[in-house]
Amino acid sequence: GISLYGVVTDILSDPNASGVVFSLKVEDATGAIWAKLQFTSNWSLGRLGHGHVVYVSGLSCKSTNDCLEVLWYEKDEKATFINLSCLPAFLASSCLHRISTLSQISKQRKPAINICRVKLREIDQSQNIYTRLSHRVCGQFIDEESSSSSHGGNLHCSFCRVNCNSREGSEVVRCFHIMITLADEETKLYAWCTGQSASAILHISPDEFCELPEDDQLMYPSSLENEWFLMTLANSGSRNLGSGHRSSHETEATCWEITRALKI
């Protein structure tokens, strides 16, 4: 079979396909390729976003209408899909990573697992910490306003194209969506994160945070400033930032996602 290593630059669900099919665009220094991912029942790869570095094996090719089509079948015993950007082992094992500075990764032009030693700066709860609903299956945010107006009040995952209160849609969970300034000895960088990474940074679960009194929520972020972390960073652009959660920092040329965080 064929194997691919590169950066995810686009993911699309195919609503006209028979079964659960997604198209994935992967790029490296030599070019880009689209691959069709065929799942047995639903999306099973966890949260996958723009800028994540992936390794995919067990791919096959066939000619369709004079075009070469790259296919990946989940049920194939040789098929593997590894999201390297989200592997905790890279942070936990020093032999697996090389620490880069924030200025070095800002100039990065090829697929890489970016590991940085940084401290937290400028956390403002009123502007930069949100709790949102996400689809447990894929980890993507659910646009609650759009769901309410377009799907009869049902919560809808636009990534998987399912209503999340149906059997196929599985569960909806509350997660953090935080935006934060990171700093090292050389420079600063603005980043965002959600899911496990956000909980690791804040040392609290979304449900526990929501149960705090409002004054405690406002004071909570100040206790975290200047804490040091090892972080895996992916260049996501601004495409993963949900509507209604924008800030002036988004005028920066790029936006970085914290895909893993480990307090040091």
Domain locations along the chain: 2-85, 88-133+171-263, 137-163
- Report pLDDT for 68: 80
Residue 132, CA atoms < 13 Å, CB-side half-sphere: 25
> What's the topology of domain 2-85?
OB fold (Dihydrolipoamide Acetyltransferase, E2P) (2.40.50)
**Chain-centre distance for alpha carbon 216:** 28
Residue 77, CA atoms < 13 Å, CB-side half-sphere: 0
**88-133+171-263 shares the fold of 2-85:** yes
Residues 145/20/78/83 CA torsion (nearest 10 deg): -10
Cα-only R_g, the chain: 19
Cα separation, 140 vs 195, whole angstroms: 9
Question: What predicted TM-score, i.e. pTM, was given to this entire model?
Answer: 0.86
pLDDT digits (tens, 9 = 90+) for 137-147: 999 998 776 55
pLDDT digits (tens, 9 = 90+) for 148-205: 555 556 788 999 988 886 544 457 899 999 988 999 999 999 999 999 999 999 999 9
Domain 88-133+171-263: CATH superfamily, name plus number:
Nucleic acid-binding proteins (2.40.50.140)
Candidates 201, 218, 217; CA nearest to 209 is 217
Tens digit of pLDDT at every position of the chain (264 positions): 899 999 999 999 998 888 899 999 999 989 999 999 999 988 999 999 999 999 999 999 988 777 788 999 999 999 999 999 999 988 888 777 789 999 999 887 777 789 999 999 877 665 578 899 999 999 999 877 655 555 556 788 999 988 886 544 457 899 999 988 999 999 999 999 999 999 999 999 999 999 999 888 888 888 888 899 999 999 987 544 444 444 444 444 458 999 999 999
